[in-house]
Amino acid sequence: MSYDDVEIEDMEWNEELQAYTYPCPCGDLFQITKEDLRLGEEIARCPSCSLYLTVIYNLEDFADNSKQNTNFQHSKQQLISVA
């Protein structure tokens, strides 16, 4: 069961950990990366214990920019795949 629900605005970006963080009651930090959020992950885990948070956020705010552009292409463009 999730320890708490926390809005992404209430989490702090930690440059060293490269993750959004929120204090855990054990003294460590709940963490979730931008990559997690981009993939629609909702769980922020604590590296020290079994507790976790549910993060509340808009998926659109973290969606991949290149994927967004593809939807609005008007001209015919060939998608180039890179090996």
Partner 1 sequence: MEEGERVVKIQKDTEEVEHKQQEIWSWGAGTDGQLGTGKLEDEHTPQFLINLSNSISSFGHISLLSCGGAHVIALTSDGKVLSWGRGASGQLGHGEKLDFKLDFCFVLFFCHQKLTPPDSGCLFTCGDGSFGQLGHGDYHSCSSPMEVLFFNSKHVEQVACGMRHTLVLSKGNIEAYLCWLSLLVAGNTGEKVYGFGSGKRGQLGVSEDKIKSLSFPEPCSGIQGAEVVAVFANGDQSAALSADGCLYTWGRGFSSNSNTCIPQSLPSTLYFKQAALGWNHALILTSEDEVFMLGGSNHGVLSEPQKTIHLHNVSGKSNFSKVTGLGEKKVVQIAAGAEHSAIVTGQLENGQIYSWGWGEHGQLGLGGINDHTVPQLVMAEDNSMISKVYCGSGFTFALRQSLDC
Stretches 24-32, 34-42, 56-64, 70-78: which one binds partner 1 (CB under 8 A)? 24-32
- Please state, in angstroms and rounded to a whole number, the distance separating the CA atoms of residues 4 and 65: 30
Tokens 């460590």 belong to residue: 28
- Closest by CA to 52, choosing from 16, 3, 17, is 3
Site for partner 1 in 43-62 (CB under 8 A): 48-51
In the complex with partner 1, the residue whose CB is nearer, 25 or 40, is 25
How many Cα atoms occupy the beta-carbon half-sphere of 73 within 13 Å? 11
Q: Does 15 bind partner 1 (CB under 8 A)?
A: no
Question: Applying CB under 8 A, which residues contact partner 1?
Answer: 1, 3, 10, 12, 16, 23-28, 48-51
